[in-house]
Each structure stands twice: as structure tokens, then as C-alpha cells.
Structure 1
């Protein structure tokens, strides 16, 4: 293999490498990295409790 052929091969490799790795990727926002999901599904019975109901049941 002569120098001209190896030089062309290396130039092609350099161009391919530069096209693939020549620029940094776009920055990712922190908001896009976090996924928020509720830990459990909504339970209507859990919030249906009235804190003052025991007053009516036991004190009146």
C-alpha cells in the first residue's frame, strides 16, 4: 500500500469520525430528565373521612 492510498483512507476516516463525533450533543434540560408519576392511584375513600364526624357521633 503506498502513501497516497493510506492518506486517502485516513482522510476518509477523519471525515467520517468528524461527521459522527465532531460536535457535542444538544444539552438536555433538567425538566426533560425527570418523569413525575404518582406513587399510588387516587383513592377516594382515603380523602372521604371527615375529621369532625367523630364529634357528632360520640359527643352529641
Structure 2
């Protein structure tokens, strides 16, 4: 794979092999990585869209 192809992949690809005991946890990890990458300079409350998403982030952590 070329460097430009690698850089253009979504960050969630980095976590494809993550085994967290439950598919939903693995999915949440990938979702959270995407959220953080789109807004790297903000905290979790600003990175997510709804209060329920924020609760999910804190439960995940």
C-alpha cells in the first residue's frame, strides 16, 4: 500500500482487529476514533452530537 492510500483510509481501519469482548464495544471504539479525528482539539462533550452519545463515550472509557 502506498503512503497516500494509507493516509486516506479512515482511522477506524486501525482498529478493525480490536477484540474487546463484544462487537458493540469494537464498533464504539471505531466510532469514537472517527469522532476524535474529526475534532482533535476539543473534548468529548464537544466532539459528540448528543448527550446520549456522550454518555456512551464515558461508559466506554
- Using the size of structure 1 for normalisation, the TM-score is 0.28
- Using the size of structure 2 for normalisation, the TM-score is 0.28
Compare the two structures and name the one with the higher helix fraction: 2
- When Rg is computed on C-alpha atoms for both structures, the one with the higher figure is 1
The structure whose RCO (Cα within 8 Å, separation 6+) is larger is 2
